[in-house]
Amino acid sequence: MKRVILGAALWLATAAGLQAACTGRNLMDDLSPADRAGIAAAAAQVPNSEGTVWEARKGDARMLLLGTYHFTDDRHVAAVDALKPRITAADALLVEAAPDAQAQLQSRLAAEPQLMIDATGATLPERMGKEQWAALSDAMEDRGVPAVMASRLRPWYAATMLAVSPCMMAELKSGDAARAGMDFMLIDVATAAGVPVKSLEPYDTVFGLFSDLTPAEEIDMLLSALPGAEHADDFTATTAAAFFSGRVWELWEFSRHDAYANSGLSREQVDRQVALAQERLMDRRNRAWIAPLTKAAEAAAPKGREVVAAFGALHLPGEQGVLRLLERDGWTVRRVAQDEGTTR
């Protein structure tokens, strides 16, 4: 169930500037018509389940909300070009991790390797079954991490690494990774226009996402990531296909369906993992973002300007998604159509 921890992987990959030029297949194409219909029906029950470009208004305060896909794709060029007029005229661009936050994160990881590595506690082979450790060590070796080093990784970080395919990991290590993900492209547009770029959350948010998990929950999270580790390129292609079609929440429902079929966990265990991931990776952060979004928009209103906010597209939908939370706070939200000068 690699997508359960995909959000953390994408957050770290964005901060590192990871390029996803590797190719895979859309796993949705392997589903039966009945399964596809079931996923679509489940997604349709979720508020604001489709669309990646939205507006929010409250009095004179205005926001343009952009759901992003963090990795490289040639289709980003046209999308970002269409958004340039709104970004260059904005009072500020708010993103998950602004350049200064990305630099702080990289510096912190370099200075405090214990955030990723447990040098004194029980090793992963001691905490996992023999076959489970063998599968994990093989997956880590494929990603250029020797088993002896992998044995000391903290479970959340090991799970995050499994979400990045060996191909993408090789590109990152080679230095070929480009600032070509959508978030970086938007940041570059704003920076060139002199528009301030601000973070929606502290740089160290990622370290707290899983800090209070029990030892058993840590290993469960790692085990749930293992089945999809060898197909990470396919999962990346599946994510891209869902994003560019605008069917944002179908990706999350596909993750649940795939886990039921392939994780080896019971449906109850899968549902618990999915609920945990949604709360830690999305809902909790969404709630924390409403205050900085509102503050920025209200500060821009007297100047007759809007703010632009860009973050992973899965943060938009749902009862605890950014859009519904804004609505509950008195904002009017609407999806922006192509004929209004931006992409959907």
Q: What pLDDT, in 10s, does the model give residues 178-217? A: 556 899 999 999 999 999 999 999 999 988 888 888 998 8
Q: Which residue has the higher pLDDT, 55 or 226?
A: 55
Residue 274, both tokens? 């999915």
More confident residue, 3 or 160: 160
Specify if 53 maps to a domain. Answer: yes
Residue-wise pLDDT for 27-50, tens only, equals 999 999 999 999 999 999 999 999
- Could you please report the per-residue DSSP string of 95-145? ESS-HHHHHHHHHHHHH-GGGTB-SSS--HHHHS-HHHHHHHHHHHHHTT-
Residues 224-269 pLDDT 10s: 888 778 788 888 889 889 999 999 999 999 988 888 888 777 888 8
What pLDDT was estimated at residue 1?
34
Mean pLDDT confidence for 85-98: 97
Q: Is residue 177 part of a domain?
A: yes
Yes or no: say if 234 and 165 are a contact pair by the CB < 8 Å rule. no
Distance of CA 263 to the CA centre of its chain: 21
Q: Write out the residue range of the structural domain in which residue 104 sits.
A: 2-116+154-337
Domain count, the chain: 1
Per-residue model confidence (pLDDT) at position 173: 64
For residue 343, is pLDDT > 80? no
Residue with the larger pLDDT of the pair 161 and 125: 125
Is residue 128 domain-resident?
A: no
**Quick check: is 303 in a domain?**
yes
132 domain residue, yes or no: no
What pTM did the predictor assign? 0.88
Q: Are 77 and 66 in contact (CB under 8 A)?
A: no
In a domain, 146, yes or no: no
**Mean pLDDT rounded to a whole number for the chain:** 87
135 found inside a domain: no
Please provide residue 58's backbone torsions phi and psi, each rounded to the nearest 5 degrees. -150, 105
Give residue 303's pLDDT.
98
Residue 126 lies in a domain: no
pLDDT of residue 263: 77
What percent of the chain lies above the pLDDT cut of 90?
A: 62
